A and B are shown apart, each in its own frame.
Chain A
Amino acid sequence: MLSRLALRSELFRVAPFCASVRFTQTKPAVTTSNESIIVPGFPKPNGQTQPNPFDGPERDLVNFPRMVRLEEPAKTRYLFVPEEWFEIFYKKTGVTGPYVFAAGITTYVLSKEIWVVDHEFPYVLATIGMFYLGWKKFGKSVAEYLDKEIDSYEADCNSSRASEVDYLKEIIEKQKKEIWRTEAQKHIMQAKRENISIQLETIYRERALQVYNQVKRRLDYQLELANLTRTVQQRHMVNWIIENVMKSLTSDQEKQSFKKCMVDLQALAAKA
């Protein structure tokens, strides 16, 4: 059971490979219009022939192409006489040959009374006349009506497939649009990054300024402190020196200096 399954799966795996090989080997035969109903392969929607995945490697597509229904029937003249008959005559006798032949045969069978002109003879003429009149009067309109019918029938048969294809195409278009839209995300991300880097820059600068201010404040404080210390020390030293000098002065010295001052004053006054 399992081995058979394995064989099956192997077959399924191999089949498309064979088909592809065969597809390259066979050259597409030229479509002949009315000589045969056979044209190679079922045409795909893109007009290419389609390999059948169930065909084996021995399938001969050149001599035995797939059958396809003809679109137009074989050509006829006078509604029903095959065109090939005229072609056979044309090679040997030219254009008038078949008509001469038909007239000759008719004359012969009438004259020998093989075709007897009896009471049923007019029916032949009547039938021909009826067909001629019918073809003249209704031929075109009936043909148009039938063509329209068969076209609409075929369109009906194809509609589900066609709509499916259309739907898938629409989805592909939408996906392409989405891809196109997603490209904008790159720019948006770029803008966001720039925005964040600007914010980081701002904060960095703010902090740098803050650091500067703080350092400056501390340095100012140190400067202030040093200045203050120096002034205080200076004043203290001045006061201390003065105090000690004043303390060291005796009354004699004071009197002497007072006298000296007086002398100086007198000298100054004399000069003035």
Chain B
Amino acid sequence: MAIGDYPAEYNPKVHGPYDPARFYGTPDTPFSQLKLGEVTEWIGRRNKSPSAIAGLFSRAYWRWSHKYVQPKRATIAPLIHIIAGSMLFFYTINYGKIIRERNYKHH
């Protein structure tokens, strides 16, 4: 599977038009339905190859996009998401410099 290809599990004859927000493999138990003891096992079952992780982010992006950006009567929400997200992101990458501005020594 090269870069830009469809996932190996995707079969257009069965699945129809490709939905980039959808996972076409066999679905595992959702993370929200796990018991605490099963979490390590669940993480062990995950495919942790770079392409799988990239696919995870891609699906998340498209799910968010379908939900907030693509609808016909979209609101300002995605813009605020981007602004808030970039605020958090830049705060995180600059965290080492920002903590020099602390006013108190002991917390």
**How many angstroms between the C-alpha atoms of A72 and B74 in the bound complex?**
7
Question: Which of A34, A58, A70, A74 touches B72 (beta carbons < 8 Å)?
Answer: A70
The answer to whether the Cβ of A177 comes within 8 Å of any Cβ in the partner chain is no
Q: Which single residue of chain A is at the shortest CB-CB distance from B81?
A: A80
B71 and A71 within 8 A (CB) = yes
Question: Which of B17, B21, B66, B101 touches A118 (beta carbons < 8 Å)?
Answer: B101
Number of residues in B with C-beta < 8 Å to the partner?
31
Q: How far is the CB of B49 from chain A (nearest CB, A)?
A: 25
Q: Which single residue of chain B is at the shortest CB-CB distance from A76?
A: B77
The answer to whether the Cβ of A117 comes within 8 Å of any Cβ in the partner chain is yes
B80 and A73 within 8 A (CB) = no
Decide yes or no: A150 and B72 within 8 Å by CB, A60-B15, A66-B16, A70-B66 being known contacts: yes
A59 and B101 within 8 A (CB) = no
The answer to whether the Cβ of B93 comes within 8 Å of any Cβ in the partner chain is no
Q: How far is the CB of B25 from chain A (nearest CB, A)?
A: 13
B67 and A80 within 8 A (CB) = no
Chain A residues whose C-beta falls within 8 Å of the C-beta of B83 in the assembled complex: 127
Chain A residues whose C-beta falls within 8 Å of the C-beta of B68 in the assembled complex: 73-74
Which residues of chain B (65-107) have a CB below 8 Å from chain A?
A: 66-68, 70-77, 80-81, 83-84, 87, 91, 98-99, 101-104, 107
Interface residues of B (CB under 8 A from A): 13-17, 19, 21, 66-68, 70-77, 80-81, 83-84, 87, 91, 98-99, 101-104, 107
Known contacts A59-B13, A74-B67, A113-B107; 11 additional CB pairs below 8 A are: A37-B66, A37-B70, A69-B71, A72-B73, A73-B74, A74-B68, A79-B77, A80-B81, A115-B91, A143-B75, A150-B73
